[in-house]
Amino acid sequence: MSDPKSDAKLRFTTLVLRRELPSEYHEVAPVVAPSIVAYGPEDRTALELQLALSELPEEAKPSSVARHLLPAGVRLETIEVELARSALPGRLAHPITATITVALVPEPRPDAAPAGHWVFVPALDHAFYLARGEDLADRLQADLRVLPAALALDADGWKRLLTWAPARLEEVAVELATTPLAEAQGRKALADAERKRQAIA
């Protein structure tokens, strides 16, 4: 007979970004993995996302779980940027102003202020590192000068980038479907040690 404790599942809490769309439906996705999306009525999206995250395809890897374990101090910022569409003809090529929501995740250091922040741009499934003292708006604008062309955004991609919606952070509890707690705790310890090593380096 198996030990109930050894068969217990790993549980963790992560942060998700909830957007209320003009259709009155909601879109919910993890801050660090915006491609994993639940879409629909507000009262259903959190549960659907929990189910999706419970079956992470690479949960055997410590980094797959560790990247969802975010430090305290995560916040949202809304930035206005100009987007050039040089590939379009005539007036359509003129720059347009867009409002972009980003999530800032601090890079913690022991007994010190954050070394910088990881900035997640859900509308493009893009992330970059913002060093201390670096201006967020300037850096985001610089990235967005080249990203739409580099990603070869189609009409749906442009629509997502240009459609601003009210957003907020929420916590979601996840229970992994297949990884026993005893096994996962060992992996988590390795992942935590690696995160601390990178923060100190």
Domain boundaries, the chain: 4-70+167-200, 75-162
Share of the chain above pLDDT 90, in %: 43
pTM over 0.85: no
DSSP the chain: ---HHHHPEEEEEEEEEEEE-TTS-EEEEETT-TTS-EEE-HHHHHHHHHHHHTT-TTTTSHHHHHTT-PPTT-EEEEEEEEE--TTS-GGGGS-EEEEEEEEEEE--BTTB--SEEEEEEGGGTEEEEEETT--HHHHHHHHHHHHHHHTT--HHHHHHHH----EEEEEEEEEEEEEEHHHHHHHHHHHHHHHHHHHH-
In this predicted model, what pLDDT tens digit does every residue of 101-115 receive, in sequence order?
999 999 988 878 888
The reported pLDDT for the residue numbered 62 is 65
Q: Is the pLDDT assigned to residue 30 strictly greater than 60?
A: yes
In this predicted model, what pLDDT tens digit does every residue of 176-195 receive, in sequence order?
776 544 444 444 444 454 45
The reported pLDDT for the residue numbered 178 is 62
Comparison of pLDDT for 176 and 75, the residue scoring more: 75
Mean pLDDT on 56-79: 81
